[in-house]
Every structure is written in C-alpha cells, then in structure tokens.
A and B are shown apart, each in its own frame.
Chain A
C-alpha cells in the first residue's frame, strides 16, 4: 500500500499566491522527497529532506518535516501558472534498496 498521503487532493489558487501541500506517512523513514508531474509527463524530482532535517529550501520551494507527527509540507511561494502540475510525496526507508513509497498526489492549478 502507498506510504504517503497528500492533502489536499486538489488545490486551486491565483498566480502570486502561496501553495501549501501536506503529506502524512505511517512508518519510519530515512528521507522524504517531493516530485512534480506535468500532465502527460513523467515525474521530476524537486527536493529531498532527510529524517534528521526539519526544513529545507530550494528556490521558491520550502519543505518541512516533522518526524514526530509523521508529516511533511511543501510550500511553493509566489506561484506561477507554470507551477500547475501534480505533486507527489515519496518516502524512502533506507533499508529497502532505493525503493520509494508514493502518495496519491495533489493536483495544483494556478490561474493567471
């Protein structure tokens, strides 16, 4: 079964607004990753946060991880129409030979 569960399932915002997506998981992890999928395309890695990290930034992306609550959030600041995509969290357990466990994703729509 999937490891991560994203919330909300769909998010619709205006350009310039911030977008926040959440991910919850059930078991111990080694790291948590966020991926982006444009319509009809493969997934592209965005950012990875390790289990001993609490926050990480990359450009307009900010990821937080709370291992006590088994949850993570992805914040996209100053959203653009080009950010419209599905976003997936995936957890890595370290012991399972590179396997990742994906959630069902959040569909983000950014209106111009």
Chain B
C-alpha cells in the first residue's frame, strides 16, 4: 500500500496562475482533508470531504476549491494564486467513525507563489 500520495512535491507559481494539487489514497478511506502549514501556525484545515461527491469548508477556505469525484482522490485547486498562498500543503485521510479518526498524512507539497 502506498498510503496517501501527493502530486506534485514542489511547485513555483507566479501570482495569478492556477494549479491543481492531487491527493490519492489507497486505503478506501471515506474522509479526506486538505491542510496548509505555515511556520509557527501548525496545520489549518482548508477543505475536507466526507465522501465521494461531497466537500465542505474548513478554517481557511478562501482562494481554494476542491473536488472529490472519486473516493480515492481529492483535488485542491488554486484559481488565481497569491503570495499569501505560499505554504506547505498536506493531504490526509481517515476512515469514517468517531472511534477511528486517526488521520494518515501525505508527504506534502511545497508551493511558492512569486
């Protein structure tokens, strides 16, 4: 099992450009999450999904969109990148059920917006 994978690992964008980050998991998890991590800020939830075809906003959703067309994939889109979106982005997943909400994380995508 690969677990949670993220593509790409690194990316540099210019202000105003768009891009999509891909997260894939092979554990048949129901729930998936996108976080951003900034120095001294811990992890902040951007969007999450509780199942195929569903998405919901987290703490910091502005400037991002997501889609969950397939259970194993969760896409994070930046329509018009801004320097404030320079960050490390982590995807995570877990199985449904309050007793099993341990999350499994991908290796991260380091994004720089110039």
Contacts and interface: CB of A to CB of B under 8 A. Distances in A.
Contact of A104 (B41, B59, B102): B41
Interface residues of B, number: 30
A94 B97 CA distance: 8
A33 B102 contact: yes
A13 B43 CA distance: 25
Contacts, number: 63
A92 B101 contact: yes
A43 B105 contact: yes
Q: Give the bracket for the number of chain A residues in contact with chain B.
A: 20 to 34
21 contacts: A1-B59, A2-B42, A2-B44, A30-B98, A30-B101, A41-B108, A45-B104, A48-B102, A90-B103, A94-B101, A97-B31, A97-B96, A98-B31, A98-B94, A98-B95, A99-B33, A99-B101, A102-B43, A104-B40, A104-B42, A105-B42
